[in-house]
Structure 1
Amino acid sequence: MAKGRYARLWARLGIPADYPRTRGLPLQREAPRLVLVARAPDDGKAIRLAPRAAAAWRRMQAAAAADGVTLLPLSGFRSVARQTAIIRGHLARGRPLADLLRYVAAPGCSEHHTGRAIDIGSPDERAHFEASFDRTREFRWLRRHAGRFGFRLSYPRRNPHRIGYEPWHWFFVGRLARR
Protein backbone atom coordinates (compact mmCIF):
# COMPACT_ATOMS: atom_id res chain seq x y z
CA MET A 1 0.00 0.00 0.00
CA ALA A 2 1.06 3.55 -0.60
CA LYS A 3 2.46 5.39 2.37
CA GLY A 4 1.99 8.98 3.51
CA ARG A 5 2.14 11.59 0.83
CA TYR A 6 1.74 9.13 -2.02
CA ALA A 7 -1.55 7.75 -0.70
CA ARG A 8 -3.00 11.26 -0.50
CA LEU A 9 -1.51 12.35 -3.82
CA TRP A 10 -2.71 9.24 -5.64
CA ALA A 11 -6.19 9.59 -4.13
CA ARG A 12 -6.39 13.13 -5.54
CA LEU A 13 -5.31 11.83 -8.97
CA GLY A 14 -7.60 8.77 -8.85
CA ILE A 15 -4.71 6.28 -8.72
CA PRO A 16 -5.51 3.16 -6.68
CA ALA A 17 -3.58 2.82 -3.40
CA ASP A 18 -2.45 -0.68 -4.41
CA TYR A 19 -0.90 0.58 -7.68
CA PRO A 20 2.74 -0.30 -6.76
CA ARG A 21 1.79 -3.83 -5.71
CA THR A 22 -0.46 -4.61 -8.67
CA ARG A 23 2.07 -3.22 -11.15
CA GLY A 24 5.18 -4.57 -9.44
CA LEU A 25 6.62 -1.06 -9.37
CA PRO A 26 8.49 -0.09 -6.20
CA LEU A 27 8.39 3.37 -4.73
CA GLN A 28 11.44 5.27 -5.97
CA ARG A 29 13.41 7.83 -3.97
CA GLU A 30 14.30 11.11 -5.58
CA ALA A 31 18.01 11.46 -6.29
CA PRO A 32 19.75 13.54 -3.62
CA ARG A 33 22.45 14.72 -6.03
CA LEU A 34 22.41 15.31 -9.77
CA VAL A 35 24.83 16.39 -12.46
CA LEU A 36 24.16 17.95 -15.84
CA VAL A 37 24.74 15.58 -18.76
CA ALA A 38 23.14 17.50 -21.65
CA ARG A 39 20.42 19.88 -22.75
CA ALA A 40 17.20 18.52 -24.23
CA PRO A 41 17.17 18.86 -28.02
CA ASP A 42 13.58 20.12 -28.10
CA ASP A 43 13.46 22.78 -25.39
CA GLY A 44 17.02 23.11 -24.09
CA LYS A 45 16.08 22.08 -20.55
CA ALA A 46 18.77 20.50 -18.41
CA ILE A 47 19.06 16.72 -18.51
CA ARG A 48 20.47 15.61 -15.18
CA LEU A 49 21.44 12.22 -13.80
CA ALA A 50 22.79 10.88 -10.52
CA PRO A 51 26.62 11.03 -10.54
CA ARG A 52 27.32 7.31 -11.10
CA ALA A 53 24.65 7.05 -13.78
CA ALA A 54 26.02 10.20 -15.44
CA ALA A 55 29.55 8.74 -15.53
CA ALA A 56 28.25 5.47 -17.00
CA TRP A 57 26.15 7.40 -19.53
CA ARG A 58 29.19 9.39 -20.67
CA ARG A 59 31.23 6.19 -21.11
CA MET A 60 28.41 4.55 -23.04
CA GLN A 61 27.82 7.59 -25.24
CA ALA A 62 31.56 7.81 -26.03
CA ALA A 63 31.72 4.09 -26.89
CA ALA A 64 28.74 4.46 -29.21
CA ALA A 65 30.35 7.48 -30.87
CA ALA A 66 33.53 5.45 -31.41
CA ASP A 67 31.32 2.96 -33.28
CA GLY A 68 29.79 5.77 -35.36
CA VAL A 69 26.50 5.82 -33.41
CA THR A 70 25.06 8.98 -31.86
CA LEU A 71 23.03 8.42 -28.70
CA LEU A 72 20.87 11.48 -28.18
CA PRO A 73 19.82 12.13 -24.57
CA LEU A 74 16.18 13.24 -24.40
CA SER A 75 15.33 13.24 -20.70
CA GLY A 76 16.75 12.22 -17.33
CA PHE A 77 15.79 13.04 -13.75
CA ARG A 78 12.15 13.91 -13.19
CA SER A 79 10.88 14.96 -9.77
CA VAL A 80 7.72 13.61 -8.17
CA ALA A 81 6.23 17.09 -8.62
CA ARG A 82 7.02 17.07 -12.35
CA GLN A 83 5.58 13.55 -12.75
CA THR A 84 2.43 14.75 -10.99
CA ALA A 85 2.18 17.76 -13.31
CA ILE A 86 2.52 15.51 -16.37
CA ILE A 87 -0.32 13.30 -15.16
CA ARG A 88 -2.52 16.26 -14.24
CA GLY A 89 -1.92 17.80 -17.67
CA HIS A 90 -3.01 14.63 -19.46
CA LEU A 91 -6.05 14.25 -17.22
CA ALA A 92 -7.04 17.88 -17.85
CA ARG A 93 -6.94 17.18 -21.59
CA GLY A 94 -9.39 14.31 -21.06
CA ARG A 95 -7.05 11.34 -21.29
CA PRO A 96 -8.46 8.43 -19.27
CA LEU A 97 -6.35 7.52 -16.24
CA ALA A 98 -6.24 3.80 -17.08
CA ASP A 99 -4.81 4.61 -20.53
CA LEU A 100 -2.38 7.15 -19.10
CA LEU A 101 -0.99 4.70 -16.54
CA ARG A 102 -0.04 2.38 -19.39
CA TYR A 103 2.56 4.95 -20.46
CA VAL A 104 3.36 7.07 -17.42
CA ALA A 105 4.29 5.66 -14.02
CA ALA A 106 2.46 7.07 -11.03
CA PRO A 107 4.31 9.79 -9.10
CA GLY A 108 6.65 8.06 -6.70
CA CYS A 109 7.08 4.99 -8.92
CA SER A 110 8.98 6.47 -11.87
CA GLU A 111 12.56 5.36 -12.37
CA HIS A 112 13.23 8.93 -13.49
CA HIS A 113 12.94 10.04 -9.84
CA THR A 114 16.16 8.18 -9.04
CA GLY A 115 18.29 10.09 -11.53
CA ARG A 116 19.32 6.73 -13.00
CA ALA A 117 16.87 6.59 -15.91
CA ILE A 118 17.61 8.19 -19.25
CA ASP A 119 15.44 8.43 -22.34
CA ILE A 120 17.54 8.06 -25.48
CA GLY A 121 16.76 8.98 -29.06
CA SER A 122 18.29 9.06 -32.47
CA PRO A 123 19.30 12.28 -34.23
CA ASP A 124 17.71 10.81 -37.38
CA GLU A 125 14.28 10.33 -35.78
CA ARG A 126 11.71 13.03 -36.43
CA ALA A 127 9.43 12.00 -33.56
CA HIS A 128 11.01 11.07 -30.25
CA PHE A 129 9.43 8.76 -27.67
CA GLU A 130 7.99 6.48 -30.35
CA ALA A 131 8.19 2.70 -30.61
CA SER A 132 9.83 3.18 -34.02
CA PHE A 133 13.03 4.00 -32.12
CA ASP A 134 13.55 0.23 -32.03
CA ARG A 135 14.24 0.31 -35.78
CA THR A 136 17.19 2.68 -35.42
CA ARG A 137 20.87 1.83 -35.36
CA GLU A 138 21.04 3.56 -31.96
CA PHE A 139 18.57 1.08 -30.48
CA ARG A 140 20.37 -1.87 -32.05
CA TRP A 141 23.63 -0.59 -30.56
CA LEU A 142 22.01 -0.21 -27.14
CA ARG A 143 20.57 -3.74 -27.25
CA ARG A 144 24.05 -5.13 -27.93
CA HIS A 145 26.14 -2.91 -25.65
CA ALA A 146 24.16 -1.07 -22.94
CA GLY A 147 24.53 -3.91 -20.43
CA ARG A 148 28.32 -3.49 -20.48
CA PHE A 149 27.79 0.00 -19.05
CA GLY A 150 25.22 -1.08 -16.45
CA PHE A 151 22.07 -0.01 -18.34
CA ARG A 152 19.00 -2.14 -19.06
CA LEU A 153 15.83 -1.61 -21.04
CA SER A 154 13.12 -1.07 -18.43
CA TYR A 155 9.94 -1.58 -20.42
CA PRO A 156 10.29 -4.17 -23.17
CA ARG A 157 7.22 -5.48 -24.94
CA ARG A 158 4.87 -7.41 -22.62
CA ASN A 159 6.72 -6.32 -19.46
CA PRO A 160 5.29 -7.41 -16.10
CA HIS A 161 4.56 -3.80 -15.05
CA ARG A 162 1.97 -3.35 -17.81
CA ILE A 163 3.79 -0.20 -18.93
CA GLY A 164 3.70 0.31 -22.69
CA TYR A 165 6.74 -0.60 -24.74
CA GLU A 166 9.41 2.11 -24.32
CA PRO A 167 12.50 1.26 -26.36
CA TRP A 168 13.96 4.68 -25.46
CA HIS A 169 13.87 4.24 -21.64
CA TRP A 170 17.09 2.83 -20.15
CA PHE A 171 17.90 2.44 -16.46
CA PHE A 172 21.32 2.35 -14.81
CA VAL A 173 21.25 -0.64 -12.47
CA GLY A 174 24.39 0.43 -10.66
CA ARG A 175 26.69 -2.35 -11.67
CA LEU A 176 28.40 -3.27 -14.87
CA ALA A 177 27.05 -6.32 -16.62
CA ARG A 178 29.48 -9.06 -17.58
CA ARG A 179 30.22 -9.73 -21.23
Structure 2
Amino acid sequence: MVNETLQRLETPDEQSLARLHEGLSLPEMHECLGIPPDYAEITGLIFFAEPESLAIVGEDCFGRLLRLEPTAREAWEEMRSAAAGDGVDLLPVSGFRSHYYQADLLRRKIRDGRALSELLTVNAAPGYSEHHSGRALDITTVDTPPLQIQFEETGAFAWLQKNAAQFQFSLSYPKERSGIISYEPWHWCFNQ
Protein backbone atom coordinates (compact mmCIF):
# COMPACT_ATOMS: atom_id res chain seq x y z
CA MET A 1 0.00 0.00 0.00
CA VAL A 2 2.73 2.48 0.99
CA ASN A 3 4.91 1.70 -2.03
CA GLU A 4 1.87 1.78 -4.33
CA THR A 5 0.98 5.25 -3.04
CA LEU A 6 4.54 6.51 -3.45
CA GLN A 7 4.79 4.99 -6.94
CA ARG A 8 2.03 7.39 -8.02
CA LEU A 9 4.12 10.44 -7.10
CA GLU A 10 5.36 12.51 -9.96
CA THR A 11 8.83 13.98 -10.11
CA PRO A 12 8.56 17.74 -9.59
CA ASP A 13 9.28 20.13 -12.42
CA GLU A 14 12.39 22.31 -12.61
CA GLN A 15 10.47 25.43 -11.57
CA SER A 16 9.29 23.78 -8.34
CA LEU A 17 12.80 22.53 -7.58
CA ALA A 18 14.22 26.01 -8.18
CA ARG A 19 12.00 27.36 -5.39
CA LEU A 20 13.83 25.31 -2.76
CA HIS A 21 15.83 27.68 -0.61
CA GLU A 22 16.21 28.47 3.07
CA GLY A 23 13.20 30.80 3.25
CA LEU A 24 10.64 28.03 2.76
CA SER A 25 8.64 26.36 5.50
CA LEU A 26 8.67 22.57 5.73
CA PRO A 27 5.23 22.22 4.05
CA GLU A 28 6.44 24.52 1.23
CA MET A 29 9.56 22.39 0.78
CA HIS A 30 7.37 19.29 0.56
CA GLU A 31 5.15 20.98 -2.00
CA CYS A 32 8.15 21.94 -4.16
CA LEU A 33 9.47 18.38 -4.03
CA GLY A 34 6.06 16.85 -4.77
CA ILE A 35 5.76 15.14 -1.39
CA PRO A 36 2.10 14.64 -0.44
CA PRO A 37 0.68 16.49 2.58
CA ASP A 38 -0.22 13.14 4.20
CA TYR A 39 3.34 11.77 3.87
CA ALA A 40 3.59 10.98 7.61
CA GLU A 41 0.34 9.00 7.56
CA ILE A 42 1.27 7.18 4.35
CA THR A 43 4.74 6.15 5.55
CA GLY A 44 4.36 5.87 9.31
CA LEU A 45 7.53 7.94 9.74
CA ILE A 46 7.67 10.43 12.58
CA PHE A 47 8.71 14.08 12.50
CA PHE A 48 12.15 15.01 13.89
CA ALA A 49 12.80 18.55 15.03
CA GLU A 50 16.34 19.81 14.75
CA PRO A 51 18.19 19.85 18.11
CA GLU A 52 18.76 23.07 20.00
CA SER A 53 22.49 22.40 20.11
CA LEU A 54 25.01 20.37 18.17
CA ALA A 55 28.54 19.32 19.03
CA ILE A 56 31.34 19.08 16.50
CA VAL A 57 32.67 15.54 16.27
CA GLY A 58 35.31 16.13 13.61
CA GLU A 59 35.16 15.16 9.95
CA ASP A 60 33.25 12.41 8.24
CA CYS A 61 34.86 10.03 5.73
CA PHE A 62 34.45 12.66 3.00
CA GLY A 63 36.20 15.41 4.98
CA ARG A 64 32.95 17.26 5.79
CA LEU A 65 32.24 18.67 9.23
CA LEU A 66 30.40 16.07 11.33
CA ARG A 67 28.01 17.27 14.01
CA LEU A 68 25.84 15.35 16.47
CA GLU A 69 23.58 16.16 19.37
CA PRO A 70 25.94 16.40 22.42
CA THR A 71 24.86 13.19 24.20
CA ALA A 72 24.96 11.27 20.90
CA ARG A 73 28.44 12.64 20.25
CA GLU A 74 29.66 11.39 23.63
CA ALA A 75 28.12 7.94 23.08
CA TRP A 76 29.55 7.78 19.52
CA GLU A 77 33.05 8.61 20.75
CA GLU A 78 32.82 5.96 23.48
CA MET A 79 31.52 3.37 21.02
CA ARG A 80 34.13 4.20 18.40
CA SER A 81 36.89 3.99 21.01
CA ALA A 82 35.63 0.62 22.25
CA ALA A 83 35.50 -0.69 18.68
CA ALA A 84 39.05 0.54 18.04
CA GLY A 85 40.12 -1.29 21.21
CA ASP A 86 38.76 -4.45 19.58
CA GLY A 87 40.59 -3.70 16.32
CA VAL A 88 37.52 -2.38 14.50
CA ASP A 89 37.65 0.98 12.71
CA LEU A 90 34.25 2.70 12.58
CA LEU A 91 34.17 5.64 10.17
CA PRO A 92 31.31 8.15 10.11
CA VAL A 93 29.72 8.83 6.73
CA SER A 94 27.19 11.40 7.91
CA GLY A 95 25.54 12.70 11.05
CA PHE A 96 23.25 15.68 11.54
CA ARG A 97 21.39 16.97 8.48
CA SER A 98 19.12 20.00 8.52
CA HIS A 99 15.67 19.92 6.97
CA TYR A 100 17.04 22.20 4.23
CA TYR A 101 19.99 19.91 3.56
CA GLN A 102 17.59 16.96 3.19
CA ALA A 103 15.46 18.93 0.71
CA ASP A 104 18.56 19.84 -1.27
CA LEU A 105 19.76 16.23 -1.23
CA LEU A 106 16.47 15.14 -2.77
CA ARG A 107 16.54 18.05 -5.23
CA ARG A 108 20.02 17.08 -6.47
CA LYS A 109 19.05 13.44 -6.93
CA ILE A 110 15.88 14.40 -8.82
CA ARG A 111 17.91 16.67 -11.09
CA ASP A 112 20.21 13.69 -11.72
CA GLY A 113 17.18 11.89 -13.15
CA ARG A 114 16.06 9.74 -10.24
CA ALA A 115 12.35 9.29 -9.57
CA LEU A 116 10.91 10.73 -6.39
CA SER A 117 9.10 7.46 -5.65
CA GLU A 118 12.45 5.63 -5.75
CA LEU A 119 14.21 8.25 -3.64
CA LEU A 120 11.64 8.12 -0.86
CA THR A 121 12.56 4.48 -0.20
CA VAL A 122 16.15 5.45 0.65
CA ASN A 123 15.81 9.08 1.79
CA ALA A 124 13.07 10.31 4.09
CA ALA A 125 11.27 13.53 3.24
CA PRO A 126 12.59 16.68 4.94
CA GLY A 127 11.54 16.60 8.59
CA TYR A 128 11.29 12.80 8.75
CA SER A 129 14.93 11.68 8.68
CA GLU A 130 16.52 10.54 11.93
CA HIS A 131 19.53 12.58 10.84
CA HIS A 132 17.54 15.74 11.69
CA SER A 133 17.59 14.72 15.36
CA GLY A 134 21.39 14.85 15.47
CA ARG A 135 21.36 11.31 16.92
CA ALA A 136 21.74 9.26 13.72
CA LEU A 137 24.95 8.17 12.05
CA ASP A 138 25.71 6.45 8.79
CA ILE A 139 28.78 4.31 9.41
CA THR A 140 31.32 2.56 7.21
CA THR A 141 34.75 1.07 7.70
CA VAL A 142 38.09 1.07 5.90
CA ASP A 143 37.99 -0.51 2.41
CA THR A 144 34.19 -0.58 2.29
CA PRO A 145 32.31 1.89 0.08
CA PRO A 146 29.95 4.02 2.16
CA LEU A 147 26.20 3.45 2.07
CA GLN A 148 26.43 0.02 0.45
CA ILE A 149 24.71 -3.22 1.47
CA GLN A 150 28.09 -5.00 1.59
CA PHE A 151 28.73 -3.17 4.86
CA GLU A 152 26.70 -6.00 6.43
CA GLU A 153 29.55 -8.40 5.54
CA THR A 154 32.19 -6.49 7.49
CA GLY A 155 33.64 -7.06 10.91
CA ALA A 156 32.50 -3.52 11.76
CA PHE A 157 28.85 -4.46 11.17
CA ALA A 158 29.24 -7.66 13.21
CA TRP A 159 30.83 -5.63 16.01
CA LEU A 160 27.97 -3.11 15.92
CA GLN A 161 25.34 -5.86 16.04
CA LYS A 162 27.01 -7.34 19.09
CA ASN A 163 28.00 -4.15 20.94
CA ALA A 164 26.09 -1.04 19.78
CA ALA A 165 23.24 -1.49 22.28
CA GLN A 166 25.74 -1.07 25.15
CA PHE A 167 26.21 2.49 23.88
CA GLN A 168 22.46 3.00 23.24
CA PHE A 169 22.78 2.75 19.45
CA SER A 170 20.48 0.58 17.37
CA LEU A 171 20.08 -0.33 13.72
CA SER A 172 17.14 1.76 12.48
CA TYR A 173 16.27 -0.08 9.27
CA PRO A 174 16.98 -3.82 9.67
CA LYS A 175 16.14 -6.42 7.02
CA GLU A 176 13.10 -7.73 8.86
CA ARG A 177 11.54 -4.28 9.36
CA SER A 178 8.50 -3.49 7.29
CA GLY A 179 8.34 0.13 6.32
CA ILE A 180 9.03 2.62 3.62
CA ILE A 181 12.80 2.97 4.11
CA SER A 182 14.85 0.12 2.65
CA TYR A 183 17.30 -1.99 4.66
CA GLU A 184 20.31 0.12 5.67
CA PRO A 185 22.99 -1.79 7.58
CA TRP A 186 25.02 1.42 7.88
CA HIS A 187 22.34 3.56 9.60
CA TRP A 188 22.52 3.58 13.41
CA CYS A 189 20.72 5.87 15.84
CA PHE A 190 21.47 6.82 19.43
CA ASN A 191 18.40 6.18 21.58
CA GLN A 192 18.68 8.27 24.72
User: What TM-score results when the alignment is normalised by the length of structure 2?
Assistant: 0.84
Number of residues paired by the alignment?
169
| Pair 1:132-2:144 in alignment | no
Gaps of 5+ in 1: 175-179
Quote the offset at 1:83 in angstroms.
0.3
Q: CA deviation at 1:5?
A: 2.9
1:24–1:160 contact (8 Å) kept in structure 2: no
Aligned to 2:9: none
> Aligned-pair distance for 1:156?
1.1
Q: 2:102 matched to 1:97?
A: no
Is 1:20–2:20 an aligned residue pair?
no
Cα separation, 2, equivalents of 1:55 and 1:83: 24
Q: How does 1:163-178 map to 2 (within 5 A)?
A: 163-174=181-192
1:38, distance to aligned residue in structure 2 (A): 2.3
Question: Out of 29, 49, 73, which is 1:54 matched to?
Answer: 73
Q: Amino acid of the residue matched to residue 147 of structure 2? A: F
Alpha carbon RMSD of aligned pairs, Å?
A: 1.3
Normalising by structure 1, we get a TM-score of 0.90
4+ aligned runs moved over 3 Å, structure 1? none
Sequence identity (%)? 44
Counterpart of 1:177 in structure 2 is none
1:153 aligns with 2:186: no
Which runs of no fewer than 5 residues in structure 2 stay unpaired?
A: 1-23
What's 1:120 paired with?
A: 139
- What's the counterpart of residue 142 of structure 1? 160
1:158 Cα deviation (Å)? 4.4
Give the letter aligned to residue 188 of structure 2. W
